[in-house]
């Protein structure tokens, strides 16, 4: 029996499912005494350092947890579960950590890199440990903005390091206390092996130092499969795909498969992440009955890469006149298996208020969710379309000279952000929205393009460069992929962090393995 320390933040369902997939049963910590009596304790952490430590103290878990660790009992911390082992973090100055390992956690500060550090990266093994038995150098999944560094005082506890903004600690072992900065539960089969190595031993054998030789890893570009999910006319959930956002064909909702089955296929084919966009957004339903909840729960039982859910992440009142905040909705999705939530129209409204007043209210869905779950858990989906102008002075928006002239030969354009799946326009451009969302606390941008959606003519490189150069958070390129060369083109021409596609994957016009093979042939790093 494995004891899971769920302190109430982040997606712990994935950890439970990953543990069960290795053949072990799981029980949750409900009272402090459950920590004291645990045989093997797993602490998955998602969110902010200060919120995690303060919640542990409020629940009475902090003291028993520290005593458990000092007694050198079997422990596995994940992500924030690693960071809390250190003395302090720059994320929340003045809040002490568990102080099991010397040192403090620092924010990545290289302005040339996207932060958070999101994606698949390697590890350099510094010590021989049972944790990495049979590890063949596969990439593992990271998502974090803060990291610990090797120092003379903690060097003996460093198990692996990873390269990003220099070298940071990606796993530690101090006796039977182990922790990883990466998410083994989201690292596919390699992560499952690491979990199994830990759980199958009542006590982890002492790590033996191998080498301090220089070793560098490379962050891979991510290939993301996106599933637009909605109910058809019979009330069944199906994966569909719009032609310029029109999802009907011959009067019927276009049906490209069942959500869970299709997502599992993409996982097996090597997709780095799966995104579900709930384009029905069942706002009239009580939250506990939302059909997408079941999709997430079933998917997280068999898919061990990150899952993102978008659609309906906003405040609403259900058919029974019960009010739910955006944080309530996001929390239910996280507890059901989502690792990230994607916010669309609500983000446009929030940034409009920010631009109008010049200050954040702290009440937008982006702010509320990122404050509790961390900015890495919040993706903003931007749906812009081109608006051509004859002269840059014709508008106050960010204008660029384009290589794709307008219908009347216009050489300039700006990108108007839309709401409700492209059905409504706004007076906010893509750069304003991206920068505003970053300021509010978003951790990633999903950048669509209405003009390219469903065209198979390639990504809008001009748009992607425009937004990528305006923000420091990762950008996912979307809309327009029609052949494998479009993926290499967008990575080489824009430096975007990930590329997303939907219809061409659903219809098997481009297999995901073919995309990966093409990118490797061009020395573009992928998992």
Residues identified as active-site: 79, 183, 185, 228, 383
In this structure, the strands spanning 177-180 and 444-447 are unpaired
Backbone φ, ψ for residue 127 (5° rounding): -135, 145
Closest alpha carbon to 144 in 164, 123, 174: 164
Beta bridge partners of 127: 209
The DSSP code for 203 is S
Separation CA 101–CA 273 (nearest Å)? 32
Closest alpha carbon to 150 in 132, 179, 171: 171
Q: Residue 419: CB partners within 8 Å, gap ≥ 6?
A: 344, 345, 348, 349, 383, 425, 426
CA distances, 500 to each of 68, 348, 391, 496 (Å): 43, 21, 33, 11
**DSSP SS3 for 343:** strand
Separation CA 184–CA 18 (nearest Å)? 9
The DSSP code for 180 is E
Separation CA 507–CA 509 (nearest Å)? 5
Closest alpha carbon to 225 in 266, 184, 284: 266
**Structure tokens given for 257:** 């498969």
């Amino acid at each position: 029996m494995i004891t899971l320390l769920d302190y109430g933040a982040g997606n712990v369902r994935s950890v439970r499912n990953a543990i069960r997939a290795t053949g072990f049963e799981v029980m949750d910590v409900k009272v402090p005494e459950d920590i004291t009596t645990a045989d093997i304790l797993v602490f998955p952490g998602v969110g902010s350092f200060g919120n995690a430590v303060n919640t542990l103290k409020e629940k009475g878990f902090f003291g028993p947890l520290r005593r458990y660790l000092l007694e050198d009992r079997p422990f596995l911390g994940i992500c924030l579960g690693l960071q809390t082992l250190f003395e302090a973090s720059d994320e929340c100055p003045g809040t002490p950590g568990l102080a099991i390992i010397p040192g403090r956690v620092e924010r990545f500060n290289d302005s040339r890199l996207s932060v958070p550090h999101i994606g698949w990266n390697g590890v350099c093994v510094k010590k021989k440990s049972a944790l990495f038995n049979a590890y063949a150098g596969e990439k593992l999944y990271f998502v974090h903005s803060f990291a610990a560094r090797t120092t003379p005082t903690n060097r003996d506890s460093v198990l692996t390091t990873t390269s990003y903004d220099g070298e940071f600690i990606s796993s530690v072992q101090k006796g039977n206390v182990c922790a990883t900065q990466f998410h083994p539960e989201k690292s596919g089969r390699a992560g499952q092996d690491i979990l199994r190595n830990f759980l199958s031993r009542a006590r982890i054998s002492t790590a033996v130092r191998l080498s301090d030789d220089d070793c560098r890893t490379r962050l891979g570009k991510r290939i993301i499969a996106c599933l637009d999910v909605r109910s058809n006319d019979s009330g069944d959930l199906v994966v569909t795909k719009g032609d310029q956002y029109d999802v009907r064909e011959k009067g019927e909702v276009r049906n490209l498969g069942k959500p869970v089955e299709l997502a599992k296929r993409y996982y097996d084919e090597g997709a780095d992440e799966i995104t579900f966009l709930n384009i029905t957004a069942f706002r009239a339903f009580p939250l506990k009955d939302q059909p997408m909840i079941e999709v997430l729960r079933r998917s997280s039982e068999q898919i061990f890469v990150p899952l993102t859910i978008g659609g309906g992440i906003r405040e609403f009142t259900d058919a029974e006149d019960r009010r739910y905040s955006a944080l309530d909705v996001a929390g239910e999705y996280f507890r059901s298996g989502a690792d990230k939530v994607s916010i669309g129209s609500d983000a446009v409204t929030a940034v409009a208020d920010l631009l109008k007043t010049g200050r954040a209210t702290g009440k937008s869905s982006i702010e509320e969710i990122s404050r509790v779950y961390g900015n890495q858990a919040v993706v903003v989906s931007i749906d812009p379309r081109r608006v051509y102008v004859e002269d840059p002075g014709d508008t106050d928006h960010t204008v660029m000279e384009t290589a794709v002239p307008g219908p009347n030969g216009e050489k300039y354009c700006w990108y108007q952000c839309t709401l409700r799946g492209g059905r409504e326009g706004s007076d906010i451009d893509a750069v304003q929205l991206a920068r505003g969302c970053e300021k509010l606390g978003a951790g990633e941008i999903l950048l669509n393009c209405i003009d390219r959606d469903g065209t198979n003519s390639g990504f809008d490189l001009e748009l992607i460069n425009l937004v990528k150069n305006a923000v420091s958070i990762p950008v996912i390129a979307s809309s327009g992929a029609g052949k494998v060369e479009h993926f290499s083109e967008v990575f080489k021409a824009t430096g975007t962090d990930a590329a997303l596609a939907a219809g061409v994957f659903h219809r098997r016009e481009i297999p995901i393995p073919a995309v990966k093979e093409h990118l490797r042939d061009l020395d573009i790093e992928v998992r």
